[in-house]
Structure 1
Amino acid sequence: MAGSFLSDDEASEAAEINVTPFIDVMLVLLIVFMVAAPLSVVDVPVNLPASSAAPPERPEDPIILTLTRDLDLSLNGAPLLGDALAQSLLQASDGKRDTPVLIRADRDIAYGEIMALLDRLRDAGFLKVALAGEEKAP
């Protein structure tokens, strides 16, 4: 070529794209999403009451039972219909009744409704029950 300043060998080297920075950015994004994904497991909106107690260690794989303001129940984010609580709990725990159950209940729910839920859990044989709350800022 008459007006070209680069030889054919130099032109072929200049046309290659360096993908190393792109791969680095993709790996960082992958790590960010891997860390953030477990934090967004529970997606049922509940207005939890605050607690000033020191938070205990969280059990390894608790069953999360959510009671919304409308008294709708959901088990690990999936809505429960009718009286399927006992069977759904057994299915979620693989038949192990000693699996911890973590109750997330809206702060505006009457105390009697939470007690009724605790009675249903006891009748189903699940006795390891904890109540979830938000931590108060010091």
Structure 2
Amino acid sequence: MAFSTQDSDEVLSEINVTPLVDVMLVLLVVFIVTAPLLTNAIPINLPKTESVAPVEQKDPLVVSIDDKGAWFINKDSVQPDLLETNLEAAKAKNPDVRVQLQADDGVNYGQVAKAMASIEKAGITKLSVITKR
């Protein structure tokens, strides 16, 4: 053990972390022991019911723009100026129509923005933009 020969009355400012580590290890052991006991659930026999089929949703309209700049609704070719009119007709048939927009990565963003604007002008609020992972 080394003793200091200095006569200074300075306070030792080092923190002894050993008691802190001891307390944390005790708490860790307590949580490890009690955690499995907390997962016990009250045994209940749940009633059996008939399974219900999910609500059928119609397939969404897919608006596509290929690498050559051709526009399609599903697989039918459409002129960019007539996209809004066709989507308005689809919305008249089904007010909850959903639209998926997909465009080739080589397509100018201006065409994609024009398609999105036409979809919005047609009054369609449910739009998904399809991308690759």
TM-score normalized with structure 1 length: 0.48
Larger Rg: 2
TM-score normalized with structure 2 length: 0.50
Determine which structure has greater relative contact order: mean sequence separation of CA pairs < 8 Å that are 6+ residues apart, divided by chain length: 1
